[in-house]
Structure 1
Amino acid sequence: MSIFLTDKIGKNELTAKAIFTDPVLFLAFGFGSGLFKKAPGTMGTVAAIPVCWLFALAGDYFYYALTLAAVVAGVGICGMAAKKLGEHDFGGIVWDEVAGLLVTMLWVPFNWPALLVGFVLFRLFDIVKPWPIIWVDRKVSGGLGIMLDDILAGIMSGLILLVIADLGWL
């Protein structure tokens, strides 16, 4: 028994090989992390950690620009992946989690304690989906719909993380 999805992925029944060989699907599946059977969103957020770290190494302005690029490109990436899979917001599409964690970390200096707290906050908001996240998740479709609820979760998480940092708790 495998911990990964190996065949019949999505309504169009793609294979794991198709995910790894198609650049759009490879990105949409968070470099393959979306192929985990259990908690693909959490695994996609884990896959975002090295991306976040590399972006932070580039400096603040590059971090902002690269995050914006990840968000904007994500609308197309997620929309195309959903069409290829034949399913809107398939659980394995986790580029939105990658972008969401990047957004979470926008307003605080990068350090490992902040990243850990940001990770937990982001997963909490992404799973619980308080208003307006739940409304967006239900009402907005396509690539924008896949991305927007996670971007909102990232904004909410990032604002709380900023307060925590400003209080000197990180």
Structure 2
Amino acid sequence: MIGTVVPAGATGHLMLGREVYRCALGRGGVRAEKAEGDGATPFGPLPLRRVLFRADRLAPPPCAVPLEPIGPADGWCDDPADPAYNRPVSLPYPGRHEELWRTDGLYDVVGVLGWNDAPVVRGRGSAIFLHVARPDYAPTAGCVALMLPDLLQVLRAGLSGLEVRAG
């Protein structure tokens, strides 16, 4: 099932069937021409490739895509000059990267969205995830974020991707 994301000011709405969920979007808005570091959520189709989760905090969430637990050594390379750009890496890692094992709970559940991954184009953006939102729906660095109960509900409903629309 494909969800539709529609920007609505500084946040947006994810529509899945008849359900509508508030979501946080990138601080740079929604853009068709996404670039590394611009803070924008990419416009267009974003297939859900797999779901990562913190097994020490949650039971495996039911979902329609492959599911993998994450651990303290899991990261994601966001360095356009690195050969592992926009790919998972093991920590410690010498190139610029994000740590997936976070203390703030934002990555307790992470849907890896298919952006700039087939093939990877250096500088076109990395680590575009569907993840847990901050309580105030603060903007993301380019991801789509939902409150944890909503994220679990859309995964349980069989989410297989997002279609992000322009604002």
State if a TM-score over 0.5 links the two structures: no
The structure whose RCO (Cα within 8 Å, separation 6+) is larger is: 2
* Length-normalised TM-score, structure 1: 0.23
* TM-score, length-scaled by structure 2: 0.24
Between Structure 1 and Structure 2, the one with more helix by share is 1
Structure showing greater radius of gyration is 1
